[in-house]
């Protein structure tokens, strides 16, 4: 059942703020996570304005029945500074993750220095600190789509983004597969299906093929995510919140 954690954490990456001009802030998205049709957990993503920063918070908790076998209680945050024309997408300055997943507990943060092109990672549990070089367009695992979702997606095209996961810097490819109409409990949506080729040992941890259905508009709201596992698959479905993308 530890595969449930993969999709719980996956929400931290894909339920990101898109171009600031494309949707109102604050925003709240609520998801149900299921394994072979059984509810396995819930997750919430919220985006707010915090002074000159954009503050993204992702929380995920396992369902009561799963907590006995594999408790999950995660809180991940990203603070992005104001951007500049023409995209105004901003850049991450601080990333925090506090995760309790089974017997594993994580408490660490990454501080980005854009002038020196380096990131300082502090592991509070191990009381360690390290510095690493980054590129001009490096994002943390939570703010990655803040850049990516400003790109006009074209079917058949691959896009690349540098992601720092508190361990390594990964150049990640995301393939745009097709357009598809998707029916969910919230209605029928026109979507674009993407497939990230994940290498990170952080949030995604090589959990198998991942597919994401994003609304086919400039908001790119994730309405469904699916990760294949050894037996069956784990699905995250948008079920509520304070902001709704257009639907057919």
Domain boundaries, the chain: 4-239
Residue 128 burial by CB count (10 A; 0-12/13-18/19+): exposed, middle or buried? exposed
Q: What does pLDDT average to in each consecutive run of 10 residues of the chain (248 residues)?
A: 48 40 71 89 88 88 89 92 56 93 93 95 97 93 75 89 90 93 94 82 50 87 82 85 62
- Concatenating the DSSP letter of every residue in 78-123 gives EEEE---TTT---EEEEEEEEEEETTEEEEEEEEEETTTTEEEEEE
Q: How far is CA 248 from the centre of its chain?
A: 25
Dist CA 124 CA 236 (whole Å): 30
Dist CA 18 CA 44 (whole Å): 16
How much is the pLDDT for 53? 86
SS3 category, 22: helix
Is 122 within 8 Å of 97 (Cβ atoms)? no
How much is the pLDDT for 16? 38
How much is the pLDDT for 220? 83
């Amino acid at each position: 059942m530890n595969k449930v954690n993969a999709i719980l954490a996956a929400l931290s990456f894909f339920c990101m703020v898109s171009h600031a001009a494309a949707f109102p802030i604050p925003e709240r998205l609520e998801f149900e996570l299921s394994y072979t049709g059984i509810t396995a957990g819930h997750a919430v993503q919220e985006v707010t304005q915090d002074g000159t920063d954009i503050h993204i918070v992702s929380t995920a908790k396992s369902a009561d029945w799963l907590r006995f076998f594999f408790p999950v209680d995660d809180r991940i945050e990203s603070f992005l500074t104001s951007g500049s024309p023409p995209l105004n997408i901003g850049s991450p300055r601080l990333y925090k993750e506090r995760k309790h997943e089974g017997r594993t507990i994580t408490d660490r943060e990454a501080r980005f220095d854009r002038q020196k092109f380096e990131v300082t990672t502090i592991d509070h549990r191990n009381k360690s600190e390290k510095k690493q070089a980054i590129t001009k367009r490096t994002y943390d695992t939570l703010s990655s789509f803040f850049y990516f979702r400003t790109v006009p997606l074209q079917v058949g095209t691959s896009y690349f983004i540098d992601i720092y996961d508190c361990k390594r810097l990964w150049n990640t490819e995301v393939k745009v597969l097709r357009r598809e109409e998707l029916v969910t409990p919230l209605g029928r949506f026109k979507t674009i299906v993407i497939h990230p080729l994940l290498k990170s040992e952080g949030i995604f941890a090589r959990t198998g093929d991942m597919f994401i259905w994003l609304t086919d508009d400039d908001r790119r709201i994730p309405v469904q995510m699916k990760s294949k596992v050894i037996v069956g698959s784990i699905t995250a479905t948008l079920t509520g919140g304070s902001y709704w993308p257009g639907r057919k």
